[in-house]
């Protein structure tokens, strides 16, 4: 996959993962699907966008999603985010709603979260690719082991990160994180099916910034 050439300090950590046999299997799997004209999202050159936009050194916050959006034009390598001009998906609408409840920040007209990523928010999905119109289709591929290794790398090699784990799937990753070194915040998923069960009112955005300030880190301009 061409997109796996990471142009910042993430390459130091990810190159070893790229060399693993399981990743070679993943590479072959995606190449086979492409050869069968199976549409995969996001585009190849955007698969590793989360790493390109938030360097390892700059990463302060991790927001973990499940897999990319599976409809045409939505996925661009950042969890919960869509490109400029694309209709804001329901979960992101609810994220914006909680942001307004928490910090009185009016919802942005764009669902593009690159502005967060560039401030050190790693918008990481458990699976970095998905088949068109088939949610969860790559959930049992080696992507899961790859992204779990990323979470462990961050936990082991960084200090004072904030991990936002929304929903049961993300919360399963809590065991990979050293809670003595980092802040783990959990809530229900922002999906319309569960946002009212604990996501609204969680105040994760203000709690994140309070923690960063305590540890002399620049807060996020949400």
Classified as helix, coil or strand, 209 is: helix
Cα torsion through 32, 128, 179, 115, rounded to 10:
160
Helices 143-157 and 10-18: crossing angle in degrees, nearest 10, is 140
Q: Are the CB atoms for 143 and 129 separated by under 8 Å?
A: yes
Which among 67, 102, 156, 180 is annotated as catalytic?
67
Q: Is 67 a catalytic residue?
A: yes
Classified as helix, coil or strand, 169 is: helix
DSSP 160: S
DSSP 46: G
Active site residues: 67
């Amino acid at each position: 996959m061409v997109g796996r050439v990471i142009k910042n300090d993430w390459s130091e950590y990810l190159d070893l993962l790229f060399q693993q046999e399981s990743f070679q299997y993943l590479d072959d799997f995606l190449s086979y699907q492409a050869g069968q004209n199976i549409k995969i999202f996001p585009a190849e050159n955007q698969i590793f966008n989360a790493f390109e936009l938030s360097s390892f050194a700059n990463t302060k916050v991790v927001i973990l999603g499940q897999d990319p959006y599976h409809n045409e034009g939505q996925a661009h390598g950042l969890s919960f985010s869509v490109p400029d001009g694309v209709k804001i998906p329901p979960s992101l609408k609810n994220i914006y709603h909680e942001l307004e409840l928490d910090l009185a920040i009016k919802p942005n007209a764009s669902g593009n979260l690159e502005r967060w990523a560039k401030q050190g928010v790693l918008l990481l999905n458990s699976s970095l690719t998905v088949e068109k119109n088939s949610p969860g289709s790559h959930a049992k591929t080696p992507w899961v082991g790859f992204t779990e290794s990323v979470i462990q790398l961050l936990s082991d090699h960084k200090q004072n990160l904030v991990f936002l784990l929304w929903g049961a799937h993300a919360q399963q990753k809590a065991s990979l994180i050293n809670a003595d070194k980092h802040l783990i915040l959990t809530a229900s998923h922002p999906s319309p099916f569960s946002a009212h069960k604990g996501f609204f009112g969680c105040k994760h955005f203000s709690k994140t910034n309070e923690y960063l300030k305590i540890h002399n880190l620049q807060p996020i301009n949400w």
